[in-house]
Amino acid sequence: MNDKMNDPECVTRKVKTAPHDYSKENLLATFTPQKQLTPEQIFWSNDLMKMKSEALKERTKRITPSAIIDEERGFEQTKACYLQEVIPFFKTLKDNFEGIQKALTKEVKEMKDVFEELEAEVAQYAVDRKHDAIELKNPLIANDNLIAKCLSQEVFCVATNSELNVAQFTDMHVANTTAKTCCLALEDELANLRETNNQDNQTELNDHFSRLETTDSQITKLTDQVTHLQAQNDLFRAENDKIKQHYKELYDSIKITCAKHIEQVTKATTENMNLKTGVSKATVNPLVFARDKHAIDVEPIVPRLRNNRNAHLDYLRHLKKSVETIRDIVEEAKVKTNVPLPPSTGVDCYPTASGSQPMSHVKPNRISPAKGDTKLPVDNQPRKNKSHLRTSNRIDSSSRL
């Protein structure tokens, strides 16, 4: 504490290190309010209140030299009273005073600790203040150094810029004069070239423009041709699609009619068999048909020729001939047996071959003679491979159109 009082910084700052005199402060105009007590202070204050109350209770029994004061009697002057009342009373007083002394010493220690903490804070504040002053001086010194440096650089820049400006001005003047001379020379050369090459350039330009016009006309013609061809191609495609659809419809219709005709032929054969069984009782000479006359051979179309128009035409032609042979057979049987046939055998001629489409060629399409007891002796003819049906006469849709 004495060292801090003798510290020159504390002397210069006039720091008060003396303890506070609370008796004077309590008499000031602005009274400092009482701070909140700590738990320890509350504990000791409760003990003091207990001791005060006990002391007041014991004060009723006062010991005086005369033993009688103000009409009150004190302790009896006996050994038993002295041992039982006086000695315990003094012991309690002694204990109370010792407790008070301990509490006071503890409070004094706490106050000392508080004052030491305050002194440490004051010292730290002084050190921080010195540190802040040093930190404030450092930027000022750096600022002064920067100002001096900037001034020196400005002086150097002004001197160098003046020299550079003079040198640059001279160089620019020389370059300007040379550029002017070059421009004059170029202008003279351009004037000469215009005079000499005006006619040649005009003829070249005319030739070039004429070539461009011819090429442009050719390009327009070609574009017109291309557009015309594209339109024709579109028309051909549309017509091809229509023809394909028509062929498909014809194919479906022929397929249906063929199935109906096969049904009718089978029905006619069954009726013929029934008629033959009915006529078998009569004596009828068996008929022998000529091989060449009643030969039926309708070969299905090869799969690779199903899209060939000529193949379909030939197939329909041979199918028509086979139907005619069947009709001849029925007519001969009708004439020779004199047996009336049903009004219609159900066998009709196929339509003309134009615009036809292939049918579903399966094995039941081939017509065989009727089976029964009176079977007509028609010999099995060997299958003839027709070369004209095997040729690959493929016709493109564009050639048909």
* Residue spans per domain, the chain: 2-25+37-153, 287-395
Query: What pLDDT, on a 0 to 100 scale, did the predictor assign at position 208?
Result: 78
Chain centroid, CA 242 distance in Å: 47
Q: Phi, psi at residue 348, to the nearest 5°? A: -115, 160
- At residue 94, the pLDDT reads 87
Distances (CA, A) of 268 to 107, 282, 363: 144, 22, 19
Which two tokens mark 275? 């008629």
Beta bridge partners of 72: 69
Query: Is residue 366 within 8 Å of residue 336, measured between CB atoms?
Result: no
For 299, what's the count of Cα atoms within 13 Å in the CB-facing half-sphere?
Answer: 16
Yes or no: say if 247 and 357 are a contact pair by the CB < 8 Å rule: yes
Give the pLDDT of residue 71. Answer: 46
DSSP helix/strand/coil, 69? strand
Dist CA 81 CA 61 (whole Å): 12
Distance CA 7, CA 115 (A): 17
At 50, list the tokens.
């207990």
Q: What is the pLDDT of residue 278?
A: 78
Walk along the chain (401 residues) in steps of 10 and give the mean pLDDT of each run.
62 65 64 65 71 62 46 61 82 88 89 89 88 86 86 79 72 83 84 72 77 86 89 88 86 86 88 82 48 51 66 77 82 66 44 42 43 44 45 41 36
Q: Which amino acid is at 291?
A: R
Which residue in 298, 268, 297 sits closest to 361, CA to CA? 298
Q: For residue 247, give the nearest of 66, 365, 395 by alpha carbon.
A: 395
